[in-house]
Amino acid sequence: MWNRRDFLRLGGAVGTAALVAKRFNTIEHVAAASAAVADRTPEDVAQDEFYWREIQEAFTLDRTLTNLNNGNSCPSPRVVHEAVKRYMDMANMLPVQYNNMIGRNVGTVRRRLAAEFGCDASELALTRNASESLQIAQNGLDLKPGDEVLTTEQDYPRMLTTWDQRVRRDRIKVTRIQFPVPTTQDDLYQRFERAITPQTRVLHFCHITNLTGQLFPVQRLSRLARSSGMLTIVDGAHALAHFPFKLRDLECDYYGVSLHKWLLAPLGNGLLYVRKENIAKTWPLQAVPDRQANDITKFEAIGTHPEALRAAVAEALAFHQAIGAERKAARLRYLTLRWANQVKSHPKIKLLSNLEPGQTWGVAMVSIDGIDPRALSQHMMDRYRIVVNAVVGGDPPAQVFDYSGLRVTPNVYTTLEEVDTFAQAMLDVAKNGLPAPTTGRGGRSGIGN
């Protein structure tokens, strides 16, 4: 078993770094590190830098940059990345044989994901991202002119665009609910309840938003919808594998996820949960034979694609389980509170996320009065080589509430020095403002969000 004594013993050996990297190439060594702290609370382990240093060794990273934009996509651990390469090499030898063979084995991934996240495997489809998952539900429902969809102004832009297309194509009605940030789950519930009309057919909302990490009362809204014969579509892109819950407990009808976010799976992986009684009445994005009408895999019909990416999800799930969902969530919250607590008392700095227990983990938003978040994000890159996402709220008059700022999203490999540097950089700008733009070497460098 991997323990502190073993680690310290390696410290005097020749080639320590190589040995450590080799040992942490396997899920077993991550699991062993977790077993050594199994008798401690997640909150206690969240502050154990020795333990998290061991987890950090599982990644190959560029430490000249600080990645605080994990909400976009996350680097995979070495064991996951190497699995992709291994499956790709296998498929490339004879694609018609081996790619298909890998694909037949991917059913194991579906079963294990369903078992971990709390649903039946017959209700879970493997997709390429949350957008595809949610668009299957959005475009797959039979809606007629005049039918209403309730969503929010702070939903993901691609999903709002999808509903806008259905407005143009099918003449449905879409109502976007406004809400302040941070707010309470009671407030969100009441805003949806008040907005429902006799024409409302669908409630579409985030589990937590991609902007401020605002948590929604998913189960309560799902029960509200079902009591009136409405359907619920939930955007879980930032929730699954971020903090613990079970899909069946949410009681929603559809739930879409990007697995390349908090599960640390390879880019191009997602899942769609469809409540069993809704499978047959939901059209897939691509046509399938009628005999597949009640088969969850009809939503996976996208033609030829690299099965290696899906197969490697098994390693990402094993890595997630080796750390433990509770420990992972506690660490993400600890990192968020570490930087937030350093800046929250400054009069010019505004936190747009609810920092109460059970409300925020690894996604939070912060702004500085009078500072454009885009310029602030660029300053973080130029001066500190910190990659962080700038969010600008909707254009007036649609924008009723302000939700502009920096979205800060650390991950399990993030160090305390990195979040402390970010906090001190924020305090410096709040005190002294942004420096004048510079040009030339070391000047502006655009990092996409």
- Res. 13 pLDDT band, cuts 50 70 90: very low
CA 252, CA 448: separation in Å to the nearest integer?
33
pLDDT of residue 195: 98
pLDDT of residue 398: 54
3-state helix, strand and coil shares in percent for the chain, rounded to the nearest 5: 45, 15, 40
Q: What is the pLDDT of residues 46-86, one digit of tens each?
A: 999 999 999 999 999 999 999 999 999 999 999 999 999 99
Task: Please name the residue that has the structure tokens 């939901």.
Answer: 282
Q: pTM of the predicted model, to two decimals?
A: 0.91
Share of the chain above pLDDT 70, in %: 90
Q: What is the pLDDT of residues 391-433, one digit of tens each?
A: 998 655 555 688 899 999 999 999 999 999 999 999 999 999 9
Cα distances (angstroms) measured from residue 441 to each of 111, 350, 388:
51, 33, 21
Tokens standing for 381? 């890159």
pLDDT of residue 395: 53
Pick from 263, 242, 240, 258: which is nearest to 250 by CA?
A: 240
Beta strands in 311-398 (DSSP E): 349-351, 364-368, 386-387, 389-391
Q: Are 15 and 45 in contact (CB under 8 A)?
A: no
Q: Are 345 and 365 in contact (CB under 8 A)?
A: no
Q: Which fold has domain 327-432?
A: Aspartate Aminotransferase, domain 1 (3.90.1150)
CA 411, CA 175: separation in Å to the nearest integer?
34
Pick from 34, 75, 113: which is nearest to 322 by CA?
A: 34
Mean of the pLDDT values across residues 272-276? 98
Task: Outline which parts of the chain fall under CATH 3.90.1150.10.
Answer: 327-432
Please say if the pLDDT value at position 232 is more than 50.
yes
For 236, which DSSP code? -
pLDDT of residue 436: 84
Task: Outline which parts of the chain fall under CATH 3.40.640.10.
Answer: 81-316
What's CA 302's distance to the chain center, in Å?
23
CA 262, CA 247: separation in Å to the nearest integer?
16
Q: Which CATH architecture has domain 81-316?
A: 3-Layer(aba) Sandwich (3.40)
Task: Please name the residue that has the structure tokens 């769609």.
Answer: 272
Mean of the pLDDT values across residues 187-216? 98
CA 24, CA 191: separation in Å to the nearest integer?
48
